Every structure is written in C-alpha cells, then in structure tokens.
Amino acid sequence: MAAVASSSYKKYETRSRNPDPKTSLLLVIDVQNYFSSMVSPILPRLLTTIDLCRRSSIPVLFTRHNHKSPSDYGMLGEWWDNDLIFDGTVEAELMPDIRRLAGQNEVVEKSTYSAFENTGLQERLVEMGVKEVIVTGVMTNLCCETTAREAFVKGFRVFFSTDATATSDLELHEATLKNLAYGFAYLVDCDRLQDGLFGFELD
C-alpha cells in the first residue's frame, strides 16, 4: 500500500482555532506494526505532535486495534474477511517508537473503527475533564475519521491532524480532510500546534 504523509489541507479549511491545553487530550490511533508502511512517512511529525502535547501538559492516549475472537469481529469480519489484526501477533503490537512512549494505563484496546465503541473512552474523558480531542494516527479515512466524527457527536471539540495522520491513498486522505473541515473538526498540523501552544513555528 502507498503511504500518505501530508496534503495541502489549507484549501479545505473553513475556520481556525487552537486547542486549549487545560481541556485537551491527544488520541494516537492504531500506530501498530500492521500499519507501519503508512505510519513511517508521518512518524517524525507524529512524534513531534506527541512531544508538543506532553510539553503542554496535554494527556495522551494510544489506541490498539485487535481481535481476540470471532465474537468481536462485527461487520469488520465481513468487510475485511481474512485481513484482520489479531491480538498476540507482532502486527497487533504498537510500533517500537510509539510503544516506548505509551504507558500501561494510556493504551485503549478497541475492535472496530471508533475508539469510543465499547472501550469506556467517553467516560474516561469526562472523568478527566476533557472537552477537546486532537486526533492523529491511522487510517485517516477509517479509524481516525470515525473516531473524530463520533467525538464531535458526543460533544467534544475536535482537532484533526493533517500531517500526523495517514492512509493508503492521497485522495482518501484529502476527502476526509475536506469532509471533516466542512462539519466536524478544526484542521491542524505540527506548525499550527507549535504556534498555538507555544507562540512560534517549527524550523
């Protein structure tokens, strides 16, 4: 699969806002070995985004997509047939650079596109006082987009990274950005986060 690192998202942008560090949380979606070919081009920007958020005291949660038995396949079993990610395999593990950063209580296990479905994530965010989520990871048009849309519907303000998300095809990546910018999320990148959180841009 071809990997997508970034896009000219500014042509889709309709409004601008910066996350509030006091009420924000960073979601790092499914950065697992299975998706390494997609993640590799965006990994530097993803690691920078994590670092920016942690330096701003923004908490970080990482999701890990996996299946333990046919009972948790849902429609993914029909749609992806034999191409599922199974718990206990190398493919299901977080990529090494991410695994080193993810604390034991910072990993949310999921078995469908949305990080909110049957994970207790919403309750956890409410308990933490989170009102805004920043979405990064893979795949832009599947788990990232579904999570972003559901976060919006649940009442969270959504920020969606354009250069720390990736998928298999540039058109799919840009279609997601266009749709989210139209009605669901504020688009951000590393430079904008740096500027919004610290008042200056990256070199």
Q: pTM score > 0.95 for this model? A: no
Sequence-ordered list of residues with C-beta below 8 angstroms from that of 104, at least 6 positions apart, any chain? none
Provide the 8-state DSSP code for 199: S
Q: Rounded distance, CA 68 to CA 45, Å?
A: 31
Kindly report the CATH number that applies to the domain delimited by 20-197.
3.40.50.850
Dump strand ranges (E) for 115-196.
Answer: 132-138, 157-166, 186-188
Of residues 181, 70, 63, the one with CA closest to residue 114: 63
Per-residue pLDDT of the chain (203 residues; tens, 9 = 90+): 344 545 555 667 667 899 999 999 999 999 999 999 999 999 999 999 999 999 999 999 999 999 988 888 888 877 887 788 999 999 999 999 999 999 989 999 999 999 999 999 999 999 999 999 999 999 999 999 999 999 999 999 999 999 999 999 999 999 999 999 999 999 999 999 999 888 754 44
Angle between helices 43-55 and 190-198 (to 10 degrees): 10
Sequence-ordered list of residues with C-beta below 8 angstroms from that of 128, at least 6 positions apart, any chain? 25, 59
- Kindly tell me the burial class for residue 23, based on how many C-beta atoms sit within 10 Å of its own C-beta (0-12, 13-18, 19 or more): middle
Q: Rounded distance, CA 45 to CA 40, Å?
A: 10
Q: How many Cβ atoms from other residues are within 10 Å of residue 15's Cβ?
A: 7
pLDDT at 2: 44
Of residues 50, 164, 43, the one with CA closest to residue 101: 50
